[in-house]
Chains A and B, each alone.
Chain A
Amino acid sequence: MKRYVRPLAAWLLTAVAALAIAACGGSSSSSSSSSAATSSAAASSGGSSSGPINVVVGTAPDSLDPGFGYTTQAAEADWLSYTGLTTYAHANGQAGGQVIPGLATALPTVSADGKTYTATLRPGLHYSNGAAVKASDFAYTIERSSKIPWGGAGQFYGGTIVGAADYAAGKAKSISGIKADDATGKITIHLIAPYGAFDNVLAFPSSGLVPSGTPMKNMPNSPPPGVGPYKITNVVANQSFQVVKNSHWTPIPGIPSGFSDISVKISSNVSSNALAVLQNSADVFDWADTIPGSLLPQIQSQASSRYSKKVMNSTYYVFMNTKTKPFSSQLAREAVVTGLDQRAMSRLGSGTLIPGCFFLPPQMIGHPTGQCPYGNPANGGDLAKAKQLVKQSGMAGTPVTVWSETRTPRQQWMTYYTQFLNQIGFKASQKVIADATYFPTIGSLKLNPQTGFADWNQDFPNPIDFYLLVQGSAIQQTNNQNFGQVNDPHVNSTSAKLGATPGSKLASIAGQWQALDSYLAQKAYIGVFGYQTFPAFTSTRIDLSSAIFHGLYGWDWSSLKLK
């Protein structure tokens, strides 16, 4: 048998060796260039100073079609490509929350009863395919987004515009509350009731005009033409897309025309995305992704000048069911707010949380300036006091089910919270639900969940967007978002009144929002455990002097240019 070996081994070895040489060749030469190690994220790796800016995104947009897309990843691209009658100022942070005229000549005028909005379309506008923009396209756009339907359509169109719900349900051929005159460009919108944030609704990318006759279906592969400094092209499902300068764009005051084309690559490994930006083989780390805590020390030491944490308007909290034991007792709720250690929660979340106790986040108008009612959260929780409160409430030993999502760090937060509830005297156990079904599950009134994870990210910078989650009228059988079933007459009436105030007068009622938000915290209706910070992280190629980090959409891609 022994004699078989040599010739056989010879021809097999040749084959294996060929592969091995390929492998070794790969290793030796790619190790010479350090960028090769992480170029995974950006195929067209860096080096050249011209060319597109490479953005790496961890999660694919739900759809780049503005008639469907709702996630931040979609909005980043869509708000530059689909301008509505109004849009947001291209400015840093909170200043970016200001609504400015978009395709309308001015901000819409509001009738005295607050129910009729009138605007006039700018003349001479063109879509990215060259077609002229008509006033009736606005009506068509709202109809299309209602029909597809866009995730916010039921609430923001159906709930506000006369006839939009009937249209979506197929009971009408058009939305009766919208009138448009192509000859004059005049657009009139009738609302069911005064809605202070309607200027913001008009600024959603889903309200960004698309041509009449665009198919009434989600078109993620080839998003429809829009009006904006950029347009979206070359979409490859779950892999990549490009946002390029729109040659048919006519400049509008307040909307910059942009510098570079943007090339977006979707890659779910955020660690390798972060390293790619660190090593300049990609230019922008998507702000909505979290830089893994394990890479932060390296990034902070090697790239501190191009990494910072930004606060956006989002709040993490535990909801507490005010209708069911034990959290029907205010003392029990106070115990949670008093005792939960937000510093530990922050560690579990890679240090991305900033502590706080108010529902309205720090950058939002109406965020209270006063002290937290149950101890300063930055100092950690008062466990002894919390235990005492539980005893006092008479709820000690009550079984509690803590609901949580699967994803990191939300699951870890709730594991810790469960442990905490047990420490202060409840009998808590954790129930983990698949991400895809979490909110539908806890949104079922029949389930009547006791407590668990919840969060809210702003749709627009108006406190009413948060207070929709604690209004008694928001409690519904399925898809309930008022998880704690908070139904306090003071909260209901005040938030309704403040919410109807037109957005332009928001600054004048800031004090009243602050008072209401302090009241909510005083009653311990929800257990806020922090506000998330987001990473602003770019390569050395990006000129940060002109770059805008927008309060709503994160990096303003039209402000990015190469050094």
Chain B
Amino acid sequence: MATTSASGTEFSGEIPVSSEGVGEIPPGIGPWQLAWRRLRRNKTALFFGGLFLLIVVLCMLAPVYSHQIAHAGPADGFPDKQIHVGGTTEYVLGVTGIPIGPTWHSRFFLGADGSGRDVAVRLLYGGRNSLEIGAIATIITMILGVLLGVVAGYLRGFSDGVIRFGLDVLWAFPAVLLGVSLGVSIAVGGLGPIKGNSLYVPALVIGIVYIPYVARPVRGQVLGLREREFVDAARQQGLSHSRIMLFEILPNLASTIVVFMPLILANAILLEAGLSYLGAGVQPPNASWGTMISDGINSIPAAFHNVLVPGIMLVLTVMSINVFGDGLRDALDPRAKVRIAH
């Protein structure tokens, strides 16, 4: 735990990733190869990694399912239609608006929602949106978080002070509260060229919220790295700061970045769902798992499938990322400890 001392005052949210974990490398084997060997032995992690891939592929196939099997788009509602299920004819929405449950047939396989839309179709399209937002948010967080962390840790002094202050401010906001505030504000007003109901709004909001969770530990690690011999050597060769940061420091952060990615992705997807639940995430008529659960809560107790179906998908996705990420972390760096607070 030597690295904590470098950043001394910031043990709280997260414990920095140790940079020395990859110490016992047998000669002749690269650290990445070694990690892959370790990961291959971790069957649980591989299983969940596979599950995640499967979910991604399924969600990408949403248009195919929608056109070829369900014959309904994600926004198409059929509140006035009847369908034949197992010999009987039923309304998609009952007289009091209760949607039909799973039919286990090509149409309304997982039932209908309160607007008479096909839940299975929306589940796949919603998943696409959830994953897309998660991915974009993760990219934003990783790029900005690493950039700020490296600049602050390497340059120290004034830049460090400014960046750390900014991170402190972001960090003191409760994540959900900040996300909801930003989400509602931008959803109402839009942001420059981005329209209020664009998927990029929640992606951007979530991306910003999680920056400190990456930037702070990266900064801590860079503070340690900049004292190492190879950085000194580079400095003595007269390399510019930006070159040192880019070619000397950054490659050494690779395993940290890889470890953080799944963690941020999982939490970004969760936060998106939370924001959507509070009406500050994905804006209608777009769907996401969060908005589906949120809509579904209105139809408890008669149509619980509207909550259960997207909820299970959400948990499975996040859990598979988490378990795979945990395996990845163990493989790359058995002693690392990473955490994200909610």
Contact = CB atoms under 8 A, between A and B. Distances in A.
Direct contact between A and B judged by beta carbons closer than 8 A: yes
A477 B301 CA distance: 45
B253 interface: no
Nearest to A416: B77
Interface in A399-423: 406, 408-409, 411-412, 415-416, 418-419
A293 B116 CA distance: 14
Interface residues of A, number: 33
B188 A348 contact: no
B97 interface: yes
Given A293-B98, A347-B97, A350-B97, A408 B298 contact: yes
Interface string A76-109: 0000000000000000000000000000000000
Contacts of B114: 348, 408-409, 412
B313 interface: no
A294 B116 contact: no
Given A293-B96, A406-B279, A408-B114, A271 B300 contact: yes
B181 to A, nearest CB: 13
Given A294-B303, A344-B79, A408-B295, A415 B284 contact: yes
Contact of B96 (A297, A344, A411, A437): A297
A144 interface: no
A138 B77 CA distance: 54
A341 interface: yes
Interface string A268-298: 0001000000000000000000001111110
A115 interface: no
A348 B79 contact: yes
Contact of B302 (A297, A409, A411): A297
Contacts of B187: 434
A416 B115 contact: yes
Contact of B77 (A296, A406, A419): A419
Given A294-B301, A380-B80, A406-B279, A434 B285 contact: no
Contacts, number: 94
A36 interface: no
A294 B303 CA distance: 7
A351 B79 CA distance: 11
A349 interface: yes
A492 interface: no
Nearest to B95: A351
Interface in B87-102: 91, 93-98
A347 B77 contact: no
Contacts of A430: 284-285
B277 to A, nearest CB: 13
A294 B302 contact: yes
Contacts of A348: 77, 79, 93, 97, 114-116
Nearest to B189: A437
B76 interface: yes
Given A347-B97, A432-B283, A294 B299 contact: yes
Nearest to A411: B284
Nearest to B294: A408
Interface in B73-122: 75-77, 79-80, 91, 93-98, 114-116
Contacts of A412: 77, 114-115
Tell which of B76, B96, B98 has the most Cβ of chain A within 10 Å: B96
A293 B302 contact: yes
Given A292-B299, A434-B184, A350 B96 contact: yes
Interface string B291-318: 0000100111111000000000000000
A419 B187 CA distance: 23
B197 interface: yes
A415 B75 contact: yes
A431 interface: yes
B71 to A, nearest CB: 15
Nearest to A344: B80
Nearest to A291: B96
Contact of A432 (B76, B77, B285): B285
A343 interface: yes
Contact of B98 (A297, A344, A345, A349): A297
A271 B184 CA distance: 26
Contacts of A433: 188
Contacts of A409: 97, 114
B300 A294 contact: yes
A295 B303 CA distance: 10
Interface in B268-286: 279, 283-285
A431 B195 CA distance: 11
Most buried by A among B75, B79, B283, B301: B79
Contacts of B279: 406, 434
A525 B79 CA distance: 26
A419 B75 contact: yes
A447 to B, nearest CB: 13
B290 to A, nearest CB: 14
Contacts of B284: 406, 411, 415, 430, 432
Interface in A322-348: 341, 343-348
A297 B97 CA distance: 11
Contacts of B95: 346-347, 351
